[in-house]
């Protein structure tokens, strides 16, 4: 599938680094996955990143009432969709437990090819200690990736925004997905 190929291409530099670290024994084995919970996770995504996850879920037939309820519950519990009061969608960054996290080691339900860039860049940097000071995001690598694909992604983001009538640039992942679910429901009615 072209989309999957493109999405993998744009993540390759991050996935390669993750595999390099894993080859040195610096991976997420034996960790409860704190970085995916409200203790550390505040992931926000662009329309393109959210669309890639939405497309993956849709093509894998994974969008059902259970998933939607889990996502709505997350939004409510962590107050992710707060209005700024000026008529625009809020961009407040809040922590939340990701609805795709299974609460166990290596517990992300999404494949690497569609995971948010920020999730892929956040890695363990120690063989045995899985704690804050040894798990972090390599900002330089994220910036390198951004630079490589900025032009292409600008166009792709515009395409997605036009197609789904989206007016934001970044939202918490659960809130972003609801816009795609709603637009898809409207298009199929």
The string over 150-187, giving b where at least 16 C-beta atoms fall within 10 Å of a residue's C-beta and e elsewhere, is: eeebeebbeebbeebebebeebbbbbbbbbbbeeeeee
CA 153 – CA 79 distance, rounded (Å): 29
Q: Nearest CA to 120 among 39, 28, 54, 189?
A: 28
Q: Report in angstroms how near the CB of residue 122 gets to ligand SF4 at its nearest.
A: 5
The stretch near ligand SF4 (CB under 6 A) out of 44-52, 60-68, 71-79, 109-117 is 109-117
Please give the distance of CA 127 from its chain centroid, rounded to a whole number. 25
The reply on whether position 119 binds ligand SF4 by CB under 6 A is yes
Q: Tell me whether residue 100 or residue 180 sits nearer to ligand SF4 (CB atom).
A: 100
Q: Tell me whether residue 34 or residue 157 sits nearer to ligand SF4 (CB atom).
A: 34
Hey, which residues between 129 and 158 contact ligand SF4 (CB under 6 A)? 130, 135
The reply on whether position 45 binds ligand SF4 by CB under 6 A is no
Residues near ligand SF4, by CB under 6 A: 28, 31, 33-36, 41, 43, 98, 100-101, 108, 110, 115-116, 119, 122-124, 130, 135
């Amino acid at each position: 599938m072209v989309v999957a190929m493109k999405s993998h291409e744009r993540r390759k530099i991050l996935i390669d680094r993750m595999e390099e670290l894993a080859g040195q024994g610096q991976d997420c084995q034996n960790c409860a996955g704190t970085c995916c919970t409200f203790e550390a996770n505040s992931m926000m995504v662009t329309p393109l990143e959210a669309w890639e996850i939405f497309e993956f879920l849709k093509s894998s037939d994974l969008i059902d009432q259970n998933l939607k309820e889990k996502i709505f519950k997350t939004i409510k519990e962590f107050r992710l969709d707060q209005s700024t009061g000026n008529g625009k969608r809020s961009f407040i960054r809040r922590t939340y437990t990701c609805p795709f996290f299974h609460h166990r080691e290596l517990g992300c339900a999404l494949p690497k090819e569609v995971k948010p860039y920020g999730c892929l860049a956040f890695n363990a940097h120690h063989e045995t200690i899985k704690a804050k000071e040894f798990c972090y995001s390599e900002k330089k690598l994220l910036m390198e990736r951004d630079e490589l694909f900025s032009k292409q992604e600008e166009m792709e983001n515009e395409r997605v925004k036009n197609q789904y009538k989206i007016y934001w640039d970044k939202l918490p992942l659960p809130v972003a997905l609801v816009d795609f679910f709603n637009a898809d429901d409207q298009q199929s009615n």
